[in-house]
């Protein structure tokens, strides 16, 4: 599908071979192989939302080897390093990626074992694709002596309706499945793109140094009809850092590829992964976990403090920085319930450098938390920069203001905090709540919207549920549902 003809979803999906069945034995074989090899997994996440498909693992926000080692010592032997590199320009993102990767490889070396690296990014293809992959290739050449044989591009986020078939990446919308290049995400001011065919997408992002026909592909027929043997054949053909597109619409597709990768690496190959959230779960061998509710959200110790009506004392804080259409609709639906005190952060005033808007807003938020849940949201009109770098700089300035407000509001002891948007979630987590390391307890919905339990953080935040809510997931009512769940109320329809 390298031509100009628009792909038809009905035609593509009607022609797919049936998926392999869900199989816990396959996941167990992945876990057994990883344990036998003492194989570690480091996930360099360019915003905090990449852990939506996993559970009972740890994330760190600091570039410190001791923090990596503590996270990797857990049962899953997996560490998410939240780099927030999507908020940076290309060179800065590459430099940060380099530092994180060197630290992870060093920790693995001290343990006397090997670590796989995943460059986790947006399932709608936004991010520093080429800069971060090039940085990781360079780190491996420097520290191990040779680069990766292949780079597997696996943006699928199955729970959010982001799937790949016929090499086209698709997004589920109200109108059904559409090529991702035709969604609002492709018009991102910093990371826009045109191609939905992932082979063309790689060529586009490479600036023409890679041709579409040079990008390999593991098709759904390879996975479902050819099975592990055929997948291994395609993997074996990868050399000198060749890109390989992985098609997937089910976890059985991803797990078949993950098992084949482990076998290939045992035979001497090496792979780097540029993925959405779902492949992290597959490569870890993790199965699904039911959505968290009630006392499960707080954990055993803090869950015991919940009142008989299922709600902890105190009020919660919702922080919204994302401007994508889905987020704005979700904010409108929450406001329509009239159950929160709604406080707008005036973005033009923040950028204008006048009176301390953040401090004044923080005082309003702190006072309101004594009476009700609070919705703190940025003014909805997007302030675009002169170019991509300027747009990112604006986003960082606004996010810093939100983080300061949250830091000041900690004095009011919020019962929980929700942060909506990638850059917002990271900055609120690190600079607002002082979280250096946290556990991913699970999700509020199947595979989406993670709940973090802070382990090393500001004293007021330790153990408090911190909900990381990507800007581009959920329906119009999902934000209101999340607030209801955290308050132990009957969920909003």
**Number of folded domains that form the chain:** 2
The reported pLDDT for the residue numbered 175 is 87
- pLDDT band of residue 91 (cuts 50, 70, 90) is very high
Give how far Cα 305 sits from Cα of 12, 138, 414, Å: 51, 50, 15
| Whether residue 201 is found in the same domain as residue 327 | no
Q: Please state the rounded mean pLDDT for residues 453-481.
A: 92
Rounded distance between C-alpha atoms, residue 379 and residue 134, angstroms: 37
Query: Which contacts of 170-176 are long-range, i.e. CB under 8 A and separated by 24 or more positions?
Result: 170/9, 170/196, 171/124, 176/9
Query: Which position has the token pair 């990507």?
Result: 470
Q: State the residue range of the domain holding 239.
A: 9-284
In a domain, 1, yes or no: no
pLDDT > 90: percent of the chain? 76
Rounded distance between C-alpha atoms, residue 42 and residue 261, angstroms: 16
Any alpha helices (H) in 305-376, and if so which ranges?
A: 325-336, 347-352, 357-369
Taking only the tens place, the pLDDT of each residue in 348-377 is 888 887 669 999 999 999 999 999 999 999
DSSP letter assigned to residue 180: G
> pTM for the full model?
0.88
Structure tokens at 428: 């609120």
Task: Please state, rounded to an integer, the average pLDDT across all residues of the chain.
Answer: 92
Q: What is the CATH number of the domain that holds 440?
A: 3.40.980.20
Rounded distance between C-alpha atoms, residue 254 and residue 250, angstroms: 7
Which residue, 208, 418, 201, is CA-closest to 317? 418
| Whether residue 209 is found in the same domain as residue 338 | no
The separation between the first and the last C-alpha atoms of the chain, rounded to the nearest angstrom, is 40
Rounded distance between C-alpha atoms, residue 173 and residue 432, angstroms: 33
CA angle 215, 178, 492 (to 5 degrees): 125
The reported pLDDT for the residue numbered 493 is 52
Please give the full DSSP string across 103-152, using - where no structure is assigned. HHHHHHHHHTS-EEEEEE--TTS-S-HHHHHHHHHHHHHHHHSS--SEEE
The reported pLDDT for the residue numbered 5 is 66
Q: Please state the rounded mean pLDDT for residues 254-276.
A: 98
In a domain, 356, yes or no: yes
In a domain, 228, yes or no: yes
Any alpha helices (H) in 223-275, and if so which ranges?
A: 227-236, 251-266
In a domain, 207, yes or no: yes
| Whether residue 42 is found in the same domain as residue 189 | yes
In a domain, 290, yes or no: no
- pLDDT band of residue 492 (cuts 50, 70, 90) is low
- pLDDT band of residue 301 (cuts 50, 70, 90) is low
The reported pLDDT for the residue numbered 310 is 44
The reported pLDDT for the residue numbered 312 is 52
| Whether residue 276 is found in the same domain as residue 310 | no
- For residue 44, pLDDT over 70 is answered with yes
| Whether residue 316 is found in the same domain as residue 204 | no
**Domain end residue (candidates: 284, 319, 346):** 284
| Whether residue 221 is found in the same domain as residue 306 | no
In a domain, 442, yes or no: yes
The reported pLDDT for the residue numbered 471 is 80
Q: What is the CATH number of the domain that holds 100?
A: 3.40.50.10840
**Domain end residue (candidates: 241, 264, 284):** 284
Helix (H) or strand (E) run with residue 313 in it: none
| Whether residue 266 is found in the same domain as residue 191 | yes
CB atoms within 10 A of CB 204: 17
Which residue, 379, 382, 380, 391, is CA-closest to 345? 379
- For residue 313, pLDDT over 80 is answered with no
- For residue 381, pLDDT over 80 is answered with no
Q: Please state the rounded mean pLDDT for residues 276-304.
A: 86
Q: Is 397 helix (H, G, I), strand (E, B) or coil?
A: helix
Taking only the tens place, the pLDDT of each residue in 177-234 is 999 999 989 998 889 999 999 999 999 999 999 999 999 999 999 999 999 999 999 9
- pLDDT band of residue 1 (cuts 50, 70, 90) is very low
| Whether residue 262 is found in the same domain as residue 321 | no
- pLDDT band of residue 325 (cuts 50, 70, 90) is confident
Spatial contact of 129 and 92, defined as CB atoms under 8 Å apart: no
The reported pLDDT for the residue numbered 477 is 95
The reported pLDDT for the residue numbered 300 is 60
Q: Please state the rounded mean pLDDT for residues 407-411.
A: 95
Query: Which position has the token pair 């307890």?
Result: 441
Which residue, 366, 427, 342, is CA-closest to 392? 427
- pLDDT band of residue 346 (cuts 50, 70, 90) is confident
In a domain, 404, yes or no: yes
Rounded distance between C-alpha atoms, residue 71 and residue 55, angstroms: 13
| Whether residue 242 is found in the same domain as residue 309 | no
Q: Please state the rounded mean pLDDT for residues 433-440.
A: 96
The b-or-e profile of 182-197 (16+ CB within 10 A means b, else e) is bbebbebbbbebebbb
Rounded distance between C-alpha atoms, residue 96 and residue 93, angstroms: 5
Comparison of pLDDT for 75 and 156, the residue scoring more: 156
| Whether residue 25 is found in the same domain as residue 126 | yes
| Whether residue 280 is found in the same domain as residue 149 | yes
Beta bridge partners of 375: 318, 342
- pLDDT band of residue 324 (cuts 50, 70, 90) is confident
Which residue, 210, 277, 272, is CA-closest to 238? 272
Q: Please state the rounded mean pLDDT for residues 325-336.
A: 91
In a domain, 481, yes or no: yes
**Residues whose CB is less than 8 angstroms from the CB of residue 295 and which lie 6 or more positions away in sequence, other chains included:** 303, 304, 306
Q: Which phi-psi region, left, alpha or beta, contains residue 343 (left: φ > 0; alpha: ψ -120 to 50)?
A: beta
**Domain end residue (candidates: 262, 284, 306):** 284
**Residues whose CB is less than 8 angstroms from the CB of residue 356 and which lie 6 or more positions away in sequence, other chains included:** none
Spatial contact of 137 and 240, defined as CB atoms under 8 Å apart: no
| Whether residue 358 is found in the same domain as residue 420 | yes
Structure tokens at 147: 């680069």
- For residue 445, pLDDT over 80 is answered with yes
């Amino acid at each position: 599908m390298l031509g100009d003809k628009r792909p038809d979803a009905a035609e593509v999906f009607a022609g797919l071979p049936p998926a392999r069945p869900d199989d816990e034995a396959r996941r167990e074989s992945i876990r057994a192989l990883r344990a036998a090899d003492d194989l570690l997994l480091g996930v360099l996440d360019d915003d905090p939302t990449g852990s939506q498909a996993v559970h009972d693992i740890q994330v760190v926000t600091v570039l410190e080897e001791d923090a990596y080692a503590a996270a990797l010592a857990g049962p899953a032997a997996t560490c998410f390093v939240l780099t927030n590199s999507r908020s940076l320009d290309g060179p800065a993102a590459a430099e940060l990626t380099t530092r994180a990767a060197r630290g992870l490889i060093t920790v693995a070396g001290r343990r006397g074992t090997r670590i796989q690296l995943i460059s986790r990014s947006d399932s709608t293809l936004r991010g520093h694709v080429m800069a971060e992959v090039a940085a990781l290739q360079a780190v491996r050449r420097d520290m191990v002596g040779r680069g990766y044989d292949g780079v597997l591009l696996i943006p699928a986020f199955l729970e959010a309706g982001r799937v790949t078939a016929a090499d086209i990446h698709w997004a589920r919308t109200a109108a059904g499945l559409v090529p991702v290049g035709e969604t609002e995400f492709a018009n991102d001011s910093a990371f826009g793109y045109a191609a939905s065919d992932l082979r063309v997408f790689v060529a586009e992002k490479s600036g023409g140094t890679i041709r579409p026909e040079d990008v390999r592909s593991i098709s759904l027929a390879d996975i479902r009809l050819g099975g592990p043997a055929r997948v291994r054949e395609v993997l074996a053909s990868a050399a000198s850092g060749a890109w390989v597109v992985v098609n997937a619409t089910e976890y059985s597709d991803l797990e078949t590829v993950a098992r084949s990768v482990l076998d290939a690496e045992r035979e001497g190959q090496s792979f780097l992964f540029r993925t959405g959230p779902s492949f992290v779960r597959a490569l870890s061998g993790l199965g699904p976990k039911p959505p968290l509710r009630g006392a499960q959200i707080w954990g055993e110790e803090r869950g015991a403090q919940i009142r008989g009506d299922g709600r902890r004392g105190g009020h919660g804080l919702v922080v919204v920085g994302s401007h994508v259409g889905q987020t704005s609709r979700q904010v409108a639906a929450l406001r329509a319930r009239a159950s929160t005190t709604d406080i707008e952060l005036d973005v033009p005033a923040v950028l204008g450098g006048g009176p301390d808007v953040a401090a004044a807003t923080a005082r309003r938020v702190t006072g309101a938390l004594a009476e009700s849940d609070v919705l703190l949201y940025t003014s909805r009109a997007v302030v675009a920069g002169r170019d991509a770098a300027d747009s990112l700089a604006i986003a960082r300035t606004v996010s810093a203001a939100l983080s300061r407000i949250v830091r000041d509001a900690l004095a009011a002891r919020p019962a929980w905090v929700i942060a909506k948007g990638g850059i917002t979630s990271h900055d609120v987590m690190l600079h607002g709540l002082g979280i250096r390391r946290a556990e991913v307890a699970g999700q509020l919905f199947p595979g989406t919207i993670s709940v973090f339990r802070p382990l090393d953080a500001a004293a007021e935040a330790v153990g408090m549920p911190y909900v990381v809510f990507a800007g581009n997931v959920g329906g119009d009512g999902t934000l209101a549902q999340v607030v209801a769940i955290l308050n132990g109320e009957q969920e909003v329809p």
